[in-house]
Amino acid sequence: MPPATPPAPDAASDTAPASLVGREYEVEIGPVAHGGHCVARTDEGRVLFVRHALPGERVVVRVTEGREDSRFLRADAVEVLQASKDRVEPPCPFAGPGRCGGCDWQHAAPGAQRRLKASVIAEQLERLAGMSAEDAGWDGTVEPAPGDKVPRGEVPAWRTRVQYAVDAEGRAGLRRHRSHEIEPIDRCLIAAPGVSELGVEKRAWPQTASVEAVAATGSNDRQVLITPVPGGRLPLVELDRPVSVLRVEEEQSGGRGARGGERNVHRVHGRPYVRERAAERTWRISAGGFWQVHPMAADLLVRTVMTGLTPHKGDMALDLYCGAGLFAGALADRIGPKGAVLGIESSKRAVEDARHNLADLDRVRIERGTVEKVLPRTGITEADIVVMDPPRSGAGRRTVEQVAALGPRRVAYVACDPAALARDLAYFRAAGYVPHFTKAFDLFPMTHHVECVAILKPAEKSA
């Protein structure tokens, strides 16, 4: 059990609790925890969340956040006294304590990373849903994406969208962990080749706050979105290959939450969108719109979802949080002209893309708004199959209850956060739905993120 929180200092005292930042402890590292760190305890029982360590190691840690009265401390492993057999030398020269915060597990062998992620999923299922792996229909493994099984010490180059921060000197880099400070870099090892070819890190970006580089899968489309500093002028862009350039104003509220909100984007030159290829269709994705970051993710997720749902000709299908229409298009192809698909999406730009992408399918209808508000207004009282691909925060109890009330024979829940998945699986169980099977995929190598697909079915009625 974590130690009890120390009592608050006397209200009459002006003495604030002392900061522990910089203090070092020698500790043994315990289990992995959600968020890219492991748990440890000091000799006096303080709880530490430690980055750059692995379970079972003996390390010296340095506190990065926390005070005498903190419930827990955050720390970095700065010296390894007894290393895990899974430890490797980080391939990236910018990884390590106090440096780039983009990757969590550069110091772990690829197979070990997947085992760590599996441990996190299992812990979240048990703690938040009261489910074992067997209850969830999960074999307990996290599968690599096709082509990502690289030798120990190597890094798959998978990230097709990279957002660089720019420092006061105009240098592109990535933010340090839990910090606004920027680590300038000359190359990101996990960036897809199409992103690296743009050479964003090799040039200066005066009067610029951030640069997002996009390399579409299945086309040669490349895009750079530039956010100038307030009042700044757009720099003259000369990159290593032809590219569309767009100016981004400050982010606005709304959209897909943690998966990308609405932004004001203005075309400078080139197309205001990229063309992605997946599920045997070409998809228009407008600037800043959501699309899976791993080049194999869209096809892999579509295959898994369709296998789990087993669509029938004539089905009534829902695609909730439908984005640019990926799952809606796959459903429409399988249910045939006598079936119907309703997609719901809150982002205006994504709705426009989805309607464009699926304009040849008159059995598909796309509605704009939040799922919990739009779904009851549609008048739909029954659905055969449902896909849900919510943002990182999950769908929530109300939406889960709305979906269950439609009585689908199968629900496919796509989750990029195991905690949100576990919470929503608990809501589904209370509403009469249980996992048929669950799959987990490592679509974000070197980071703590993981993608899961849970296929749900009505619980069997007891006699």
Alpha carbon distances (Å) from 248 to 176, 185, 230, 236, 269 = 23, 22, 11, 15, 13
Asked if residue 333 belongs to a known ligand binding site, the reply is: no
Tell me the C-alpha distance between 275 and 357, whole Å.
Answer: 10
Q: How big is the chain, counted in residues? A: 463
38 given a catalytic annotation: no
Tell me the C-alpha distance between 37 and 173, whole Å.
Answer: 23
Tell me the C-alpha distance between 315 and 342, whole Å.
Answer: 11
What one-character DSSP code corresponds to residue 108? B
DSSP H helices in 336-388: 348-357, 371-377
Phi first, then psi: give them for residue 394, nearest 5 degrees.
90, 180
Asked if residue 442 belongs to a known ligand binding site, the reply is: no
Which of 38, 92, 100, 416 is catalytic? The answer is: 416
Which amino acid does the sequence have at 401?
E
> In this structure, what token pair is assigned to residue 133?
């792996």
- Which one, of 326, 319, 336, 388, lies nearest residue 357 by Cα? 326
Residues 6+ apart with CB under 8 A from 379: none
Asked if residue 76 belongs to a known ligand binding site, the reply is: no
DSSP string, 189-226: TTB-HHHHTT-GGGS--TTEEEEEEEE-SSS--EEEEE
Q: Where are the beta strands (DSSP E) in 407-446?
A: 410-415, 433-442
Tell me the C-alpha distance between 308 and 387, whole Å.
Answer: 10
Asked if residue 163 belongs to a known ligand binding site, the reply is: no
Alpha carbon distances (Å) from 407 to 30, 332, 375, 423 = 43, 20, 14, 20
Phi first, then psi: give them for residue 292, nearest 5 degrees.
-55, 135
DSSP string, 234-300: PPPP--SS--EEEEEEEE-S-SSGGG---EEEEEEES-SEEEEEETTEEEEEETT----SSTTHHHH
Tell me the C-alpha distance between 115 and 277, whole Å.
Answer: 31
CB 220 within 8 A of CB 284: no
Binding site, annotated residues for S-adenosyl-L-methionine: 292, 321, 345, 389
Binding site, annotated residues: 292, 321, 345, 389
List residues with catalytic annotation. Answer: 416
